[in-house]
Amino acid sequence: MTRQPKITFIGAGSTVFMKNIIGDVLQRPALSAATIALMDLNPERLAESEIVAGKLVRTLGVEAKIETYSNQLKALEGSDFVVVAFQIGGYEPCTVTDFEVPKKYGLRQTIADTLGVGGIMRGLRTVPHLWKICEDMLAVCPEAILLQYVNPMAINTWAIAEKYPTIKQVGLCHSVQGTAFELARDLDIPLDEIRYRAAGINHMAFYLKFEHRQKDGSYRDLYPELIRGYREGRFPKPSHWNPRCPNKVRYEMLTRLGYFVTESSEHFAEYTPYFIKDGRPDLIEKFGIPLDEYPKRCIEQIERWKGQAAAYKEAETIEVAESHEYASSIMNSVWTGEPSVIYGNLRNNGCITSLPENCAAEVPCLVDSSGIQPTYIGALPPQLTALIRTNINVQELTVQALVTENREHLYHAAMMDPHTAAELDLDQIWSLVDDLLVAHRDWIPEWARIPKKVAAA
């Protein structure tokens, strides 16, 4: 009998995301009889996910087996693929803290999960848990591939590569394919007629090529059309998914840099010092920057999930639409040898020669039975390299803090953050980091906690 893969989902209480990934997996014939191990510490959410996964199996009429675990090590035993999706500290209290404490200093954010003081704190909360997964994988499934969907993606990927270099890992995001869809929509060109190549770091990769295939087989550069459409006020078109988030920041940066960035305008506004400034409401209005956007999304998602959970529990079958995530494509290629190309985050290792060897780079990767193989890019245009380095500085110092258990580097990381440094002076930055470390005390490693006598002072 042919061995079937085991796919373990850590953080399976993220039920909607789990449904998308497992729905994709079960629609691939080579994976349809897999053992799906769902692991979560929240028994109620795990039970909800088990119900949904079971109905996916019945809807598709496949032979997959669903197992549930509260013990991470047992869930990982014998795994071939490990999908990770969790948020340490949740919306409450930790996301709320990451927004409300900086706000007292006049430091406003939009998403706060990747860079800035919010991203630094999320990395501090998250990496130790990812390291524990790596430790358990080395014990019970050392050859498994870790498919990591957790933010801050670049910090996480970098930190795993530093401490557990033998773990086969890739950080996965949908920004490259998602933005390509948005631009195709603006241009009224079918996405399957567009060819692109992107590279950089997660949330700050750029389309080095963005072209339209012509009837004669040649390709036309679409950048002049995108710039012209923006300057004439035709682009961006109104958002198809969130009216609070127009795409003006990225189009503006296209006119300045000559390249379009792959992550959203609401994200990009807080990765740079140009758009969110205290006392400049004109910038917020001009570029449609949605301050405090992530907490609003969290509240909406929580409410939406309550309705979805009730509907899923009552439904006999669950509609299974294909998502745009890369996970099932990777698993299928590794398991069958059928090649595919994905965008993944891995240790740079010289793929992008103008960025540090040890940073986490986002590049096109070939996937087949040999695993995930990143492709060589070479040097990025100098203006892109320079901007990306400003974000790498923050990532590197946060990872250094975690690896060396040196709390001072958390302050250094905040110092180097473009948005924080543009708004606050050194005393304010130090005080803000102190306040965040105190507020997150129960969620961060012991070495990062401020001694109580210092905190009280």
Fill in the DSSP letter of residue 425: -
Task: Judge if pTM exceeds 0.85.
Answer: yes
For residue 267, the SS3 value is helix
Lookup: tokens for 168:
């086969």
Half-sphere exposure of 199 (CA within 13 A, CB side): 22
Asked if the model's pLDDT at residue 331 lies above 90, the reply is: yes
Q: Is the pLDDT of residue 456 over 60?
A: no
pLDDT at 219 over 70: yes
Q: Which residues pair with 365 in a beta bridge?
A: 342, 374
- How large a percentage of the chain has pLDDT more than 70? 98
pLDDT of amino acid 241: 83
For the chain, first and last CA: distance in Å?
67
The answer to whether residue 115 scores a pLDDT higher than 90 is yes
**How high does pLDDT run on average in the chain?**
95
Q: Is the pLDDT reported for residue 418 higher than 90?
A: yes
> What Å distances lie between residue 403 and 28, 357, 398, CA to CA?
39, 17, 9
**Which residues make beta-bridge pairs with 6?**
35
> What's the confidence (pLDDT) of residue 166?
98
State the number of CA atoms in the 13 A half-sphere of 160 facing the CB: 30
Q: What is the pLDDT, as a whole number, of residue 1? A: 67
- Residue 46: in which H helix or E strand, if any? helix 43-60
Mean pLDDT, to the nearest integer, of 11-15? 88
**pLDDT value, residue 314:** 80
Q: What is the pLDDT of residue 301?
A: 87
Q: How far apart are CA 293 and CA 446, in angstroms?
A: 31
Per-residue pLDDT band at 393 (split at 50, 70, 90) = very high
What is the rounded CA–CA span in Å between residue 226 and residue 249? Answer: 14
**Would you say residue 217 has pLDDT above 70?**
yes
Region 411-416: what's the mean pLDDT? 98
Q: DSSP code of 407? A: T
Angstrom distance (rounded) from CA 64 to CA 37: 10
pLDDT recorded at residue 15:
83
Domains of the chain, start order: 6-90+111-172 (3.40.50.720)
Bigger pLDDT: 365 vs 310: 365
As annotated, the active-site residues are: 174
Nearest Cα to Cα of residue 87 among 151, 135, 136, 134? 151
**Which pLDDT value is given to residue 442?**
97
- Reported as a single tens digit per residue, the pLDDT across 53-62 is 999 999 999 9
Average pLDDT over residues 370-381: 98
pLDDT of residue 317: 83
Of 227, 222, 190, 224, the residue nearest 209 (C-alpha): 222
Q: Give the residue-averaged pLDDT of 116-136.
A: 98
Q: Write down the pLDDT at residue 454.
A: 55
| For residues 183-211, average pLDDT | 98
Tell me what the mean pLDDT of segment 19-48 comes to: 95
